[in-house]
Amino acid sequence: MTEKKVIPNVPPSGGLAYQQTVEQVLAHAQSQASGLGRAEAQARLQKTGPNALPEKKGKPAWLRFLAHFNDVLIYVLLAAAVLTAVMGHWVDTLVILGVAVINALIGHIQESNAEKSLKSIRNMLASEARVIRNGNHETIPTTEIVPGDIIVLRAGDRIPADMRLIEAHNLRVEEAILTGESTVVDKHVQMHLTCSSINHQYQLPDD
């Protein structure tokens, strides 16, 4: 059984985190293999805020539907509908209005589906994560993960944040919720992990 250790994906100044060496990523994140100290982690949490998807204040469905009429294309269609009505071409008027309503309806459905997907991802997020603090393994709420934390994954764990792998052996991850692919994906130290994916292989030893 082997460990998979990851660090929240903080891009170094020289490029994306996965394009840098482990040492460069740790240096940029001002972290180390033994993890952050508790005081430093608390200070970073106060600075960066919780590791959580932002909550969007919901609007009534009817208001979200009407918002799709606030579009240049819809304005053109409505203007054309008015002109055809003035000219007495009622069939054309109804067709144009129908196109405008259908366009708004499609936009509303797509927006609703996107919100449902975001809600599903939020529900898929792990509630707790194992991190290394002061050289010791600790279990903390995922909302308290900060940039520079060293996170330890076990088989079946959900990935609690976007992270850069710093140590991995035979790591395979399910990314179906993000990519739609049903097969698991092999991951290596040169790669990063994406939030809400699932670690499928190997159990970590308890310290």
Same domain, 137 and 188: yes
pLDDT of 84 higher than 80: yes
Question: What pTM did the predictor assign?
Answer: 0.55
**Nearest C-alpha neighbor of 156 from the set 120, 96, 124, 200:** 200
Domain end (from 81, 100, 123)? 123
Same domain, 89 and 191: no
Model pLDDT for residues 164-206, shown as the tens digit of each residue? 787 777 777 766 666 666 666 666 565 455 554 444 444 433 4
Same domain, 135 and 43: yes
- Choice among 21-25, 42-46, 62-66, 195-199 with the minimum mean pLDDT: 195-199
What is the distance between the alpha carbons of residues 76 and 94, in angstroms, rounded to a whole number?
Answer: 15
Residue 207 lies in a domain: no
Domain containing 115: what range?
A: 61-123
pLDDT of 132 higher than 60: yes
Average per-residue pLDDT in the chain?
76
